[in-house]
Chains A and B, each alone.
Chain A
């Protein structure tokens, strides 16, 4: 009895201290606003500013920057999205869906000054917040369009000639996950229409649940080829689908390419470490089904854990 009580007290203490530590991790809440789409939280701890949607859970961070060191990637996935350059080392035009704190477009703009970047962000509040708290700046080569990602792509398809992007980064998330209409076969087919022949689509996803299998399956159904980079410290995976004239990489080729890119662009992070995260041939679970506009049970799949970790089964 005494032991049980003691155990309980210890457990409670651990839980409580973990709770406090977690709350302190992101620091003080400096801004909160309900936009049309999310409850937005901005927290700051020293120079580190974090963006969150919906709830202030220490694990669900949309964006994070260190204002004293803007080149430092605070979240693993933003760094990992640079793997797109392994497939298309000299992009001229890039499209990013989802702005958040603007980390990816800002860093791409920094390393590739010739690159024209379009960002589609649905929530005008996010644009204001990125400028105000995350030191995000737009200019004539980096433009933010306030529009639903899918609508933006559809509008590009309506132009004559259709503008093509060399790199397309999918990073549109709400407080739960990616909105379903930005995961389906029909959407990826529209995306294919604005992708250059030798370009690449780079998507930030999570690999721990069954939705991941469906996403890989959908990528394979549309682009026929797909590779993945798994996070070492996070549950993020980056799916890459090269255009019809693009190439697939072996881990060795990726590391070679990374070496060249590293010397060319002098990244503040290590491109070779990213290249080593490559799993050249991700295979979806046999039961997985392609996501379509008609059938996309995203919430249901996301609640089910994957049986095998893709890291061990490549």
Chain B
């Protein structure tokens, strides 16, 4: 009896860790998938002066992630960080699903203002990809917070989150660049959006079930 009672929480904690790692991996994947597709989306509007469009997209992704990390760190201190994170993922997903409807008008609009390829592609990348990338970026710090039970674990957990997220980014980058580019770009972005909404939805659902049970074991105490 005693043993089985102890084993159950251990199993649950492994499951919990795996779930958090899975969420982190998804976000790592989508970040790089979007980055590669971002270059592909912008080049018809701003040309194949490759380094210009590529530089803009990569730069904007880094800046957005940096904002997302900061924002995510701030969110992780909130009591309802799980709900906030789920909303972030749903918002990012919804943005991606809606993107096909405004990509053309945004890019043409920017081009027609008379901006050159450099500033034009930079501003277009900020408008199109800034917000969803920032929202996806909020996941990592929150995940670290969820995994960390005591201060001495913080380094290990941070390392684990970064490692898994970056490995998944590698996979997303390669698979997108080698294979997904064969498909419709807008549809791939839409499908990723739907996946993010589903992920956010699943987190909400889990939070709701847990809330009903009244056994919130989400990062108890301090």
* A and B interact physically: yes
For A181, what are the chain B residues with a Cβ–Cβ distance below 8 Å? 43-44, 47-48
A247 at the interface (CB under 8 A from B): no
A107 at the interface (CB under 8 A from B): no
B182 at the interface (CB under 8 A from A): yes
User: Across the interface, do A150 and B181 meet the contact criterion of CB distance under 8 Å?
Assistant: no
Interface string of A282-312 (1 = CB under 8 A from B): 0000000000011101001000000000000
Query: For residues 103 through 119 of chain B, which have their beta carbon under 8 Å from a beta carbon of chain A?
Result: 111-112, 114, 117
Q: Mark the stretch among B74-82, B183-191, B195-203 that contacts chain A.
A: B183-191
**Across the two chains, which residue of chain B brings its CB closest to A186?**
B44
A77 at the interface (CB under 8 A from B): no
B102 at the interface (CB under 8 A from A): no
User: Across the interface, do A122 and B48 meet the contact criterion of CB distance under 8 Å?
Assistant: yes
**Across the two chains, which residue of chain B brings its CB closest to A151?**
B47
Q: Taking A154-B111, A158-B112 as contacts, is the C-beta distance between A148 and B49 under 8 angstroms?
A: yes
**A300 CA to B177 CA, complexed, in Å:** 12
**A179 CA to B43 CA, complexed, in Å:** 10
B101 at the interface (CB under 8 A from A): no
B46 at the interface (CB under 8 A from A): yes
Q: Shortest CB–CB separation between residue A63 and chain B, in angstroms?
A: 20
User: Across the interface, do A294 and B185 meet the contact criterion of CB distance under 8 Å?
Assistant: yes
User: Across the interface, do B44 and A151 meet the contact criterion of CB distance under 8 Å?
Assistant: no
For A297, what are the chain B residues with a Cβ–Cβ distance below 8 Å? 181-183
User: Across the interface, do B49 and A150 meet the contact criterion of CB distance under 8 Å?
Assistant: no
Return the contact of A294 from the options B47, B112, B182, B184 (Cβ within 8 A). Answer: B184
For A184, what are the chain B residues with a Cβ–Cβ distance below 8 Å? 44
For B187, what are the chain A residues with a Cβ–Cβ distance below 8 Å? 294
- A36, A294, A297 pick with most chain B CB within 10 angstroms: A294
Query: For residues 38 through 52 of chain B, which have their beta carbon under 8 Å from a beta carbon of chain A?
Result: 43-44, 46-51
User: Across the interface, do B48 and A300 meet the contact criterion of CB distance under 8 Å?
Assistant: no
**Across the two chains, which residue of chain B brings its CB closest to A123?**
B49
**Across the two chains, which residue of chain B brings its CB closest to A293?**
B44
For A36, what are the chain B residues with a Cβ–Cβ distance below 8 Å? 49, 51
- B43, B47, B111, B184 pick with most chain A CB within 10 angstroms: B47
Q: Taking A154-B111, A158-B112 as contacts, is the C-beta distance between A148 and B184 under 8 angstroms?
A: no
Q: Shortest CB–CB separation between residue A149 and chain B, in angstroms?
A: 8
Q: Taking A154-B111, A181-B44 as contacts, is the C-beta distance between A37 and B184 under 8 angstroms?
A: no
Q: Taking A36-B51, A37-B50 as contacts, is the C-beta distance between A300 and B44 under 8 angstroms?
A: no
For B186, what are the chain A residues with a Cβ–Cβ distance below 8 Å? 294
**A203 CA to B50 CA, complexed, in Å:** 23
**A180 CA to B50 CA, complexed, in Å:** 12
User: Across the interface, do A148 and B183 meet the contact criterion of CB distance under 8 Å?
Assistant: no
Interface string of B41-80 (1 = CB under 8 A from A): 0011011111100000000000000000000000000000
Interface string of B10-44 (1 = CB under 8 A from A): 00000000000000000000000000000000011
Given A294-B184, A297-B181, 13 more A-B residue pairs with CB atoms under 8 Å apart are A36-B49, A122-B47, A148-B48, A151-B47, A151-B49, A158-B114, A181-B48, A294-B186, A294-B187, A295-B184, A295-B185, A297-B182, A297-B183
- Interface set of A (CB-CB < 8 Å, partner B): 36-37, 122, 147-148, 150-151, 154, 158, 179-181, 184, 186-187, 293-295, 297, 300
- Interface set of B (CB-CB < 8 Å, partner A): 43-44, 46-51, 111-112, 114, 117, 181-187
Q: Show 17 A/B contacts (Cβ-Cβ < 8 Å), sorted by A.
A: A36-B51, A37-B50, A122-B49, A147-B47, A148-B47, A148-B49, A150-B47, A151-B49, A158-B112, A180-B43, A181-B44, A181-B47, A184-B44, A294-B184, A294-B185, A295-B185, A297-B181
